[in-house]
Structure 1
Amino acid sequence: MWPQLPQQAYFQDSFRSRFFRMGIQAPPRLLELASQSLLRDEALAIAALEELPTELFPPLFTAAFAGRHNQALKAMVQAWPFPCLPLGALMKEHQPHQETLEAALDGLDGLLAQEVRPRRWKLQVLDLRQNAHQDFWTVWSGAKGGLYSLLEPEAPQPVKKRRRVEGARAGPKQAWAPVEVLMDLCLRGGTPDASLSSLLRKVRQRGGALRLCCQKLKVFAMPMQDIRKILKLVQLDSVQDLEVNCAWKLATLGRFAAHLGRMGSLQRLLLSHVHMAPPAAADREEHCVSQLTTQFLSLHHLQELYLDSISFLEGRLDQVLRCLKTPLETLSITNCLVLESDLMHLSQCPSVSQLKDLGLSGVNLTSMSSRPLRVLIERVSATLQDLDLDECGIMDSEFSALLPALSRCSQLTTFSFCGNPISMAVLESLLHHTRGLSKLSHVLYPAPLESYEDLRGTLHLGRLAQLHARLRQLLRESGRPSMVWFSANPCPHCGDRTFYDPEPILCPCYMSA
């Protein structure tokens, strides 16, 4: 019998609060003391699990995990009375020993090996993500009030004694629902992670009884054969966020593309540093690009697409975009070579009609007409919230042509266009055109041309301060003094930015001068 002590618990909480206010370490809670006492004899703790009240499982599990009571930990995994065991949040707090994590995985593995599942077992999901269910352990330990509905146990059922009927035949083995393991995967070269290797081995051994699900997947430098071996064990339809940053050749990306096509739940995709290996035959390049883009036809939930330093986009952006079947919320094309025809296709693509974030940083637009970009901005003006045109080589005449379209972006909150050679007159015109944009709160602009000392790009900080003060005065006169305008320009020597708002934050070159 485990008596309820609401009054004692109340006074203990009050006592602890006073100690915290005094800066003195508070004494342990009654639950903590009970858990520690029970774990002094692991065999006794394991035997008590069958009758242990549900509310004592989380504090006892926490104590077993922190104290490396591995046998008790294995038994508690097998008797876990909640649908979900958020082990990742506990790992983040306690930094587990490898053997402790292995014990938890062994408990799950032993559970799946049993033909008859324990009476109290409700476990459906083992969550190894460290940023999920942050409050579970504090809520159930009593440190926070309230219930955690997602992980609430089912209503307790009365214990019934099982009777064995003589001569009765055992029925066919019941097909139990698989247990899911949720984790974020980061695949990179080097020494393989021991806990991941152990988990993959158990997934392989248990077949469909243990499903490895991964919402966030990052792929860095790793041999393709190793990537394939791991992804064969992952439920690829569980991947929602994929980053591929491997400095791959286009042909290598083509071999990876088949895995991408099976990620039907994908919402965010980042591809970075994919290059063509010269010399490459045109038909071979086209085949590799087609291998990738045809997979986009299967991505019915894709909302965010980031393409960074992709060498094959030039002249092929239309081929990439026409395979997208759903409207994007974010499109970022950075540090890529594109043609004017690519931008025109972009402005006409059905998938960009509802964009909230548009980024073209590092895309050289110097020799292009401003019309495709203007048409694109006009088309997304009703939804666009964040616009990034850094380092695009846009000059005064092209920028001025964009201002009427910008003035129609009623939802715009952030606009950045650093690294473009813009004069003070155009900045003042921008301020005038954006006066009616009530949601625009942050503008990151380049140092005006008038603030440079020479053609090498050396800033005259005094002139920059005067021009910045002029902009702030205009903001006050327009009734928008809270709008943040600040300048940022890369140093021609080290590449670091010098910010000014309102005092300069200097790069090392200026600091040492």
Structure 2
Amino acid sequence: MVFVSLVNLCAKEVVSDHSSSPSWLSCVPRELYAALLEAAFNSCRPLAVGELVQRWPERSLRVGGKKRRGRGHKTPNRLCIQALLLSVVRGLLDKRCALQLLDLCDLQGEEGGMGDPMGGWSLTVALCTMVVQARTGVQRKRVLAMEREKYVKRERGQEGKPEAKVLGGQGDCEENTESAGDHVRVVTEELGAPGPSGDEELIKGVRRRMERMRQVAAKQGLADIREVTGDVDPDSEVLVHVRADLFVNARSWERVRAALSTTGPLKLQCRYLRVEELSVSSIGTLLDLLPRQSLLGVDIRYSSLGVTGLSLLLPQLSAFPALSSLRMHYCNLDFRRDEPGQEDALRDMSLGLGQLQQLRHVSLTALRLPGHLRMLLSSLSHPLEILELPYLRLTPADLAYLSCSQHASMLQQLDLSENHLDESTLPSMRRLLSQASGTLQHLTLSGCGLTDGLLATLLPSLSCCQSLRSLGLALNPLSLAGLLDLVRIASRMPSLRQLLYPNPLEDYQPGLPDLPSSSQLLDWPLDELMEVNNTSVKLNRVLTENGRTDLFLTCDLLNYDKDLVD
């Protein structure tokens, strides 16, 4: 149940009527800005969002975050986010705005979700556009101010000296040539030059001189622009630091590169960098442009790196002292012994991982490196806390190494989905669970081919994991009897809060093989003649009998989120 305070109720009422904003904006105390902004986001009031942020009275502003949304807060609407970004730029010229740090980490939602949230890619593009536009706007303002100052000085210096307008003026050539004839006559008389017969040639000479002076003035103006935007300390012009998670692909790479290369009033900092379908050189360019101290994690997806490409990137990653997370999904490393240099590249990759001193989270999805887990992880100087190895084709030797490694006793999250488990791997799995029993909080073994017999062998080790909060076992070929045994054991684990269970084999339509694969279980239709909630009723009855009302059971693989229990 979500409790709403009186302040939040009043704030919602205040921001609901935009016509009243001039009356309350002028007198609202700074302590209420946060409540008003939160109400504006939750009620989707982009105009109120813009007015509040443009005159934000605090030095920092944090918008977004999974923990905030977990307490019942909505993901901000796309229009509200756009209003936020626009008002940040406007606030640069507003003396009432004290903003120095804008934190937008975890702000992105799922594209096309409820409430029209802004996805990671769209938010990244909007942020980069904001940074570049802010730079252009401030630069334009400075150039215009310099031009006005020059004009005033020039006008003050030319009072009572009309001849200077012809001989040394910096105005427009066409405007000045209208009176050129009169001034030429004055000059010719003073110099004793020929009379009217020589006027035409002298006018041409004056025009040439005026054009040269105009060109000199134009060059001087460019020099002044360079003086404003040239080689200076990049941080000297920064008014607001913008911290965010960036999502970059081939379509947005150029814009992100331009924003990170820009010096100006807004400086973009990246906490987590996610890249998709980019080459090794493009990823390397982005890494060179990112501020060193702020990057915590890198997520590389659908990029054909190869073992050699990854070994080239890892030394660049070692330049980020706070980097704690490295995730690679479908990056096609595809190690092949028959190709020359592959063994050396694999050793370089292992040494590169060892240089990441703060690495605590490693996620390797479908990298096709069976039998090489020891070489990959043994070089790490500190034990991992999060290890995700789905679709990695782990061998018995890989699991044997993992169960005896330095990481086993420190793991908090472990994902071995879609790695086949059988009788030969169960001893290593039981040893691994025993080592991790004191720390393991999230375990996923979905699609591992666990039958009733295999799971029965594994359940005693699972029950020893007294810190376990979520357990995922979807797409395993279990019968209803095996599933009921699983729920009975789970109900006796006091820390467990979520269980993702597989549909029992009895719920599928006839024709399913005796030992179906995870892909067959995923695609095979469920029997419509079976009662839809029959299995769920039986499982929840087991929970009731064991007095567990705080354990959430679900078979919805697509919407399962282990982070909801945190």
State the TM-score bracket (shorter-chain normalisation): 0.5 to 0.7
Partner SS, residue 274 of structure 1 = coil
TM-score, length-scaled by structure 1: 0.63
2:421 is the counterpart of 1:353: no
- Which residue number in structure 1 is paired with residue 247 of structure 2? 186
2:497 is the counterpart of 1:441: yes
Equivalences for residues 79-478 of structure 1 within 5 A: 84-86=100-102, 101-102=131-132, 104-106=134-136, 182-190=243-251, 192-194=253-255, 196-203=256-263, 213-248=269-304, 249-276=306-333, 281=338, 284-312=341-369, 314-366=370-422, 368-456=424-512, 457-461=524-528, 462=530, 465-478=533-546
Which letter maps to 2:393? Answer: L
- The answer to whether the 8 A contact 2:102-2:242 is kept is no
Which letter maps to 2:542? Answer: L
Partner SS, residue 368 of structure 1 = coil
* Distance (whole Å) between structure 1 residues aligned to residue 308 and residue 134 of structure 2: 41
Which letter maps to 2:502? Answer: P
Q: Deviations over 1:421-465 (max 9, x none)?
A: 112332232233334311212211112233334233443352674
Partner SS, residue 474 of structure 1 = helix
Q: Please report how far the alpha carbon of residue 87 of structure 1 lies from its aligned counterpart in structure 2 after TM superposition.
A: 8.5
Which letter maps to 1:273? Answer: Y
- The answer to whether the 8 A contact 1:384-1:411 is kept is yes
- The answer to whether the 8 A contact 1:417-1:444 is kept is yes
- The answer to whether the 8 A contact 1:262-1:298 is kept is no
Which letter maps to 2:250? Answer: G
- The answer to whether the 8 A contact 1:105-1:199 is kept is no
Q: Please report how far the alpha carbon of residue 236 of structure 1 lies from its aligned counterpart in structure 2 after TM superposition.
A: 3.6
- The answer to whether the 8 A contact 1:413-1:440 is kept is yes
Partner SS, residue 266 of structure 1 = coil
Q: Please report how far the alpha carbon of residue 86 of structure 1 lies from its aligned counterpart in structure 2 after TM superposition.
A: 2.5
Equivalences for residues 64-75 of structure 1 within 5 A: none
Partner SS, residue 222 of structure 1 = coil
- Which residue number in structure 2 is paired with residue 45 of structure 1? none
Partner SS, residue 264 of structure 1 = coil
Is there any run of 5+ residues in structure 1 with no aligned partner, and where? 1-13, 35-54, 114-173, 490-495, 499-513
Rg (Cα) greater in structure: 2
- The answer to whether the 8 A contact 2:307-2:349 is kept is no
Q: Please report how far the alpha carbon of residue 415 of structure 1 lies from its aligned counterpart in structure 2 after TM superposition.
A: 1.1
* Distance (whole Å) between structure 2 residues aligned to residue 392 and residue 497 of structure 1: 20
Partner SS, residue 20 of structure 2 = coil
Change in 2 beyond 3 A, CA 1:75/1:413: closer
* Distance (whole Å) between structure 2 residues aligned to residue 19 and residue 486 of structure 1: 35
* Distance (whole Å) between structure 2 residues aligned to residue 433 and residue 233 of structure 1: 51
Q: Deviations over 1:263-319 (max 9, x none)?
A: 33112211111224686635522222222221222222222221111112x111011
* Distance (whole Å) between structure 1 residues aligned to residue 275 and residue 507 of structure 2: 43
Change in 2 beyond 3 A, CA 1:59/1:286: same
Q: Deviations over 1:207-232 (max 9, x none)?
A: xx998642211121223333333322
Q: Please report how far the alpha carbon of residue 338 of structure 1 lies from its aligned counterpart in structure 2 after TM superposition.
A: 1.1
2:21 is the counterpart of 1:28: yes
TM-score, length-scaled by structure 2: 0.58
* Distance (whole Å) between structure 1 residues aligned to residue 541 and residue 90 of structure 2: 68
Which letter maps to 1:214? Answer: C
- The answer to whether the 8 A contact 2:273-2:297 is kept is yes
- Which residue number in structure 2 is paired with residue 508 of structure 1? none
> Which range moved further: 67-76 or 330-339?
67-76
Which letter maps to 1:363? Answer: N
- The answer to whether the 8 A contact 1:211-1:235 is kept is no
Change in 2 beyond 3 A, CA 1:280/1:22: closer
- Which residue number in structure 1 is paired with residue 34 of structure 2? none
* Distance (whole Å) between structure 2 residues aligned to residue 71 and residue 479 of structure 1: 56
* Distance (whole Å) between structure 1 residues aligned to residue 433 and residue 556 of structure 2: 23
Change in 2 beyond 3 A, CA 1:102/1:416: closer
Q: Please report how far the alpha carbon of residue 98 of structure 1 lies from its aligned counterpart in structure 2 after TM superposition.
A: 8.7
- The answer to whether the 8 A contact 2:307-2:345 is kept is yes
Q: Deviations over 1:94-134 (max 9, x none)?
A: 99899864453357789999xxxxxxxxxxxxxxxxxxxxx
**How well do the aligned residues superpose, as a CA RMSD in angstroms?**
4.6
Structure with the higher helix share, 1 or 2? 2
Change in 2 beyond 3 A, CA 1:467/1:28: closer
Q: Deviations over 1:368-402 (max 9, x none)?
A: 33111111111111121111110011122221111
- The answer to whether the 8 A contact 2:307-2:335 is kept is no
* Distance (whole Å) between structure 2 residues aligned to residue 18 and residue 69 of structure 1: 20
* Distance (whole Å) between structure 2 residues aligned to residue 353 and residue 199 of structure 1: 43
Which letter maps to 1:474? Answer: V
- Which residue number in structure 2 is paired with residue 9 of structure 1? none
* % same residue: 21
- Which residue number in structure 2 is paired with residue 51 of structure 1? none
- The answer to whether the 8 A contact 2:400-2:428 is kept is yes
